[in-house]
Amino acid sequence: MNGKLSQRGKYLLPDQGTLFLSAIQHYDAANQVVNGTQFYEAYDAFGEMESKSFADIQFYLHQKDEFEELVKSEGFSILDLYGDYSHSQFGKDKSPFMIWKLGNASGPRKRD
């Protein structure tokens, strides 16, 4: 989240093509908000570009303790926490993501 273009992923498509995801992201530490743009490039099985698009993004980065409180206050239980999309163990100082697996702790919650 340093304001530089970085490759975020390379994914195989059902037609044997490839989708590349890149992003430019800026982190506002005072507000815990990330702003940026994601870029998508789809290539066919022969390496020819089929499409290119982008999406502006903005999201809030919850701290681990803050998110745990929010989850529990809404009636969910934490089943697992992963450090990346490959389900690696979460490490506070080494994991690029917090991927949460949640369950419903108390059944449907009534809303006022």
Q: Is the per-residue pLDDT at 107 higher than 90?
A: no
Closest CA to 99 of 110, 108, 107, 91: 91
- DSSP annotation of 57 reads E
Q: For residue 59, with 0-12 CB atoms within 10 Å meaning exposed, 13-18 middle and 19 or more buried, which class applies? A: exposed
What the chain holds in terms of domains, given with CATH numbers, is 6-60 (2.20.25), 64-104 (no CATH)
Structure confidence by residue, pLDDT tens digits, 40-94: 999 999 999 999 999 999 999 999 999 999 999 999 999 999 998 889 999 999 9
Q: What per-residue confidence (pLDDT) applies to 108?
A: 53
- pLDDT above 70 (res 11): yes
Residue that has been written with the tokens 């590349």 in this structure: 20
- For the chain, the average pLDDT equals 91
- pTM for this predicted structure: 0.69
Q: In angstroms, what is the C-alpha Rg of the chain?
A: 18
